[in-house]
Amino acid sequence: MGLSLLQPTKNIMGRYINLGNSDFSDIIAHEYVDKTSLIPLINATLNTEKRYSCVTRCRRFGKSMAAKMLCAYYDKSCDSRELFKGLEAEKAESFEAHLNKYYVICLDMTEFTTKYRGERDIVRRMQAQVINDILAEFPQITRREDDDLMDVLCSISESTGEHFMMIIDEWDAILREMGDDTQITTAYVDLLRRLFKGFSSSRVFAGAYLTGILPIKKYNTESALNNFREYSMISPGKMAAALGFTHAEVEALCRKHGMDITEMERWYDGYRIGGEAHIFNPYSVMRAIDNEWYQSYWATTGAFDSVKTYIQMNFDGLKDDIIRMLAGESVPVITTSFQNDMRVINSKNDVLTVLIHLGYLAYDRTTYKCYIPNKEVADEMNNAVTTTSWWQLAKTLENSQSLLEATTAGNEEAVARAIDRAHDENTSILSYNDENSLACVLTIAYIWARNEYIVHREYATGKGYADLVMIPRRHVAKPALIIELKFSHSADTAIAQIKRKNHPTKIAEYAGDMLLVGINYDKATKQHTCKIERLEKN
């Protein structure tokens, strides 16, 4: 191979190499939330055995913006110092050492899957385009006929003594969209191995940064690229706050734009990522600010059909778990068996795990449980359920709305009948043997209430705990509900207990009308009875 020691032509923007910093310049020009703290984390890995990073998050979590930021920072074809002035990354000791110091190759895999959809030689065509772009920057390099991308990069690195920074956005797009074709997926995985697992890889790359939705696919029990450090929705490591908005960041945005932080929390909070207890969906937060309106922006993520497919899979206990989570409960999940392949789903745990990666569920690593994080996602999950063959669950949602209407109307007989029905429909979840079981079924029966109420189970009142307390959300003109449950006693006994423990006066956060609801289950007759009393505000 004929090589030259000449440097590439400067200041010519390529398609895949030397992209410059214009994309990041556009990002910071409008309402940029400073996420540059990612930069020193990546800097610490460069030119070490930890140089390969794969950061995966669900859609709309800022992955592409982070990739453009890193491109602007590392790209030696431009000067990005002014763009980072005053931002968090500038404070890091490593900032100067790596600022605009590398040849950066930046690939968006969705660009290739869109252009070459249906083409079995997509990997060959992709390599050819990237090689042509790189050689245009290094015209002195002569390529042999059988040279692949790694051969070309090795030649350039040997010629110049420089290292490359590789950034691949949506690295798993080919596997997600073309995973049924083993020829394509094998060729793609082989390319990644050729780039990042060969003997020459450390000589060519200062680092590599991959983003995607799914962690790197497992073959048997081992990752296809086990030299990558992975930072996922389930195991984010130091990258926990690097993507998504933290509570402090959303609070600052709300103060600036006069938005309600409580509503932001209700709609877009709820993700526990690593040690970060409050991570918001950044795309939805910014859309809400731009539109001055809280609603679900999740429908545009494109995963809706996949979710419908997953939740209809006939795995034991899956429907029960979905019902529990729609009612606000958390359910256990084992995440280690999932092969990081959306087409290889072998168990209920695999379904729940893929839904975590897609952002439809959140994961609490301290309890090993998953749950629906917020109203935005709950609405989309409800939509998914109602368009599946789960007619029984869809009917549960419809019945729940009727139950709430009957409760607020004071219709005791209708409430008792509705709870009887909820008990019968959910016998696969629980069998009645104590008040806690009754409380679980009642939580499920009142699924719909979460649209209009903040629902508390075992609500501390100072004189014990109220079984269920439902406090209307802002701008909801309905009474608060204090529900006491009894097992083989009477509904009147339940009402008396509410009064004896003085529960109403302890709910200091709500000063409007209240309904006291006593519910009893008679084990002998297997029927519920209900008593409702109204307390009007003074």
Options 3.90.550, 1.20.81, 3.40.1000, 3.40.1350; CATH for 396-535 is 3.40.1350
Write down the pLDDT at residue 1.
35
Long-range pairs of 215-224 with CB within 8 A, sequence gap ≥ 24: 215/54, 215/56, 215/340, 215/357, 216/54, 216/340, 217/172, 217/175, 217/189, 217/339, 217/340, 217/341, 218/339, 218/340, 218/341, 223/340, 224/189, 224/192, 224/193
Better-predicted residue by pLDDT, 260 or 383: 260
Confidence of residue 538 (pLDDT cuts 50, 70, 90): low
- What's the Cα-to-Cα distance from 433 to each of 317, 423, 440, 483, 487, rounded to whole Å? 20, 12, 12, 19, 8
Strand partners, 470: 455, 481
Confidence of residue 9 (pLDDT cuts 50, 70, 90): very low
Is pLDDT at 10 greater than 60 in this prediction? no
Strand partners, 481: 470, 515
Model pLDDT for residues 326-349, shown as the tens digit of each residue: 888 899 999 999 999 888 899 999
- In CATH, what class is 300-386? mainly alpha
Model pLDDT for residues 498-532, shown as the tens digit of each residue: 888 776 666 756 667 899 999 999 888 889 999 99
Better-predicted residue by pLDDT, 308 or 174: 174
Per-residue pLDDT, averaged over 241-259, amounts to: 96
Model pLDDT for residues 142-161, shown as the tens digit of each residue: 888 889 999 999 999 999 89
Is pLDDT at 427 greater than 70 in this prediction? no
The residue among 284, 286, 311 whose CA lies nearest residue 381 is 311
CB 184, CB 122: distance < 8 Å: yes
Is pLDDT at 356 greater than 60 in this prediction? yes
Write down the pLDDT at residue 8.
39
State both tokens at 227.
């030299």
Confidence of residue 439 (pLDDT cuts 50, 70, 90): confident
CA distance 489 to 500: 16
**Which residues, in sequence order, are CB contacts of 431 under 8 Å at separation 6+?**
437
Confidence of residue 6 (pLDDT cuts 50, 70, 90): very low
State both tokens at 406.
């009957």
Least confident of 29-43, 90-104, 290-304, 375-389: 290-304
State both tokens at 58.
């669900």
CB 487, CB 497: distance < 8 Å: no
Beta 514-522 vs 527-535: how paired, if at all?
antiparallel
Write down the pLDDT at residue 442.
83
Write down the pLDDT at residue 461.
62
Alpha carbon 71 to its chain's center: 24
Write down the pLDDT at residue 300.
52
Model pLDDT for residues 77-135, shown as the tens digit of each residue: 999 999 999 999 999 999 999 999 999 999 999 999 999 998 999 999 999 999 999 99
Model pLDDT for residues 376-404, shown as the tens digit of each residue: 999 888 888 777 777 777 777 788 889 99
Confidence of residue 3 (pLDDT cuts 50, 70, 90): very low
CA atoms within 13 A on the CB side of 170: 19
CB 131, CB 141: distance < 8 Å: no
Q: Which residue has the tokens 């939705």?
A: 213
CB 334, CB 345: distance < 8 Å: no
Model pLDDT for residues 203-214, shown as the tens digit of each residue: 999 999 999 999
Is pLDDT at 454 greater than 90 in this prediction? no
The residue among 168, 158, 79 whose CA lies nearest residue 126 is 168
Strand partners, 405: none
State both tokens at 174.
């080919």
Write down the pLDDT at residue 506.
65
Write down the pLDDT at residue 75.
97
For 387, the 3-state DSSP assignment is: coil
Options 3.40.50, 1.10.3470, 2.60.40, 1.25.10; CATH for 22-239 is 3.40.50
Beta 103-108 vs 164-169: how paired, if at all?
parallel
SS (HEC) of 188-208: HHHHHHHHHCCCCHHHHEEEE
- Read off the amino acid at residue 455: V
Domain boundaries in the chain?
22-239, 245-295, 300-386, 396-535
* Average pLDDT of the residues of the chain: 88
- Give percent of the chain above pLDDT 70: 90
SS (HEC) of 396-445: HHHHHHHHHHHHHCCCHHHHHHHHHHHHHHCCCCCCCCCHHHHHHHHHHH
Write down the pLDDT at residue 123.
96
